[in-house]
Copies of this chain bind each other. A is one copy, B any other.
Amino acid sequence: MSRPNLHVALIHHPVVSKNGEIIASAVTNLDLHDIARTAKTYGVCSFYVVTPLEDQAELVGKIVAHWVTGLGGDYNPSRREALLLIRHKASYAEVLDDIRQQENAEPITVATSAKAKPPLLSFEKLKGLLDKGTPTVLALGTAWGLAETFMDASDHVLEPVTGGTDYNHLPVRSAAAIILDRVLGNR
């Protein structure tokens, strides 16, 4: 299998709070580790951590530095390998610019949501895009999910992950793992 042309972006703004307000959420250390390790497992090209907040961007830098060039990487080299995928960007526009420059092509943008309304992109269709080698970026929302304006501005919204119950409160770390497995896993 050739490497999928898939990029993952973890969005901290614009996302919604528990009360439905647009916020910039805090960066969670374990989101970075877990999603980087899963992305590395599935051969994802890059893992963008998107936050406009300078102190949060600094935190991302410190975490990555500890594991890539610092003591963490000596202790656990496989963690270094995973965290090398992380790139901080202040906005989604900067993510798209970065991909354009790398790929020399316009990426297809796919938003995710636990409560997405049709029209939705099926996992099968997303798999099809990736099989064709189309540069694609998958945006994951933190807090209570991506803002509606963000989803409206995306080319597609992916169908939600469901598990046969009416409980739909997966952690973003777990949703990321399931989505990558569904579209890139060998099964």
Binds B, one of A34-42, A105-113, A146-154: A34-42
Main secondary structure of the interface of A (DSSP, over half): helix
Q: A163–B41 contact, CB under 8 A? A: yes
List residues of A whose CB falls within 8 A of some B CB.
1, 18, 30, 33-34, 37-38, 40-43, 76, 78-79, 81-82, 123, 161-165, 167-171, 173-178, 180-182, 184-187
Complex Cα–Cα for A79 and B161 (A): 18
Which residues of the other chain, B, contact A178 by a CB distance below 8 angstroms? 177-178, 181, 185
The reply to whether B123 and A163 contact each other, CB–CB distance below 8 Å, is no
| Interface pair A167/B40, CB less than 8 Å apart | yes
A41-B169 CB under 8 A given contacts A163-B181, A182-B181: yes
